[in-house]
Structures are given as C-alpha cells and as structure tokens.
Copies of this chain bind each other. A is one copy, B any other.
Amino acid sequence: MESNLSTIRVIYADTDAMGIVYHANYIRWFEHGRNELMRQVGIVYSDLNQLGLHLPLTQVFCRYLLPATYDDLLTVETNFDYIKRASIRFGSKIWNENRQKLHAEGYTIHACTNHVGKIRRMPALITGLIEKYSISKGE
C-alpha cells in the first residue's frame, strides 16, 4: 500500500503549557503528510487548482495515544484510505522517529469542489491513482 513517511521536528511553537504538543498541531501535520503523499504519487495540489478544483476537508478525526514533547523528531505516515467518486479519505499516523511508539492516529475526509464550493466528481488525475496504487474505492 502506497504510503508516505515524512519528518517533523517539534519546536516550542508546537507545544503548550502542559509541556506537550498541543493537540490541534497534529491536525496541521496531517496536512503536511497529505501534501507529501500526493507529491510522491505525482500530484501537486496547485495542479488541481489549475483544473479549478479543491479538496476541502469535510471531516477530521484524531485519537491521541502518547504525548509528544519539545525537540522530538516525529515521523508522519500518510496513506490513502479510499478514493470515491466525490470524496477521498487519507489515514494519518504520527509516530516517534523510529516508528516504535504511536503518538496519534486519525483521518481526514475531503470533498472535491470547484472554486465556489460546488461538489464536483474527482478528476481522473486522482481516480487514476486507484488502479495504479491498488487503493480502496471505499465500498
């Protein structure tokens, strides 16, 4: 299964007064991982924009298992959960550096819309990934 591994170094900006990474920052790192996964399979988000398309979030979920702290080197693992006609779901895991401890895991679901927010079918650019990378069609 196609997945991307990228790396994040935790800085003070990412932490909070409990001494750990603030929970909403994992959601931000999910975006970082999606971008890297897309780039890995040959899609730059701005290519989509030039087709007049966006992939706005419709849902996010995250489960927090183990706090990460200042200066940790984290591994963001991202994969395609499924690609449907008008939606796509990415799975995200935030690991410690060597992927032996899982800090958080979750997913985001995205619609496909035009510039004014109208739902559109996923372009071939994206549905073409299904066969190429054996991605689930979410049925």
A56 at the interface (CB under 8 A from B): yes
Q: Determine the distance from Cα of A117 to Cα of B24 in the docked complex, in whole angstroms.
A: 19
Nearest B residue to A54, CB-CB: B18
Question: Considering residues A17, A27, A61, A67, which has the most beta carbons from chain B within 10 angstroms of its beta carbon?
Answer: A17
Report whether A11 and B28 are in contact in the complex, using a CB–CB cutoff of 8 Å.
Answer: yes
Q: How large is the interface on A (under 10, 10 to 19, 20 to 34, 35 or more residues)?
A: 35 or more
A residues neighboring B (CB under 8 Å): 9, 11-13, 15-20, 22-25, 27-28, 31-32, 35-36, 44-46, 54, 56-64, 67, 69-71, 117
Q: Determine the distance from Cα of A17 to Cα of B60 in the docked complex, in whole angstroms.
A: 19
Q: List 18 A-B contacts (CB under 8 A).
A: A9-B32, A9-B35, A11-B31, A11-B35, A12-B18, A13-B22, A15-B16, A17-B19, A17-B70, A18-B56, A23-B60, A27-B60, A56-B64, A58-B63, A59-B61, A59-B62, A60-B62, A61-B61
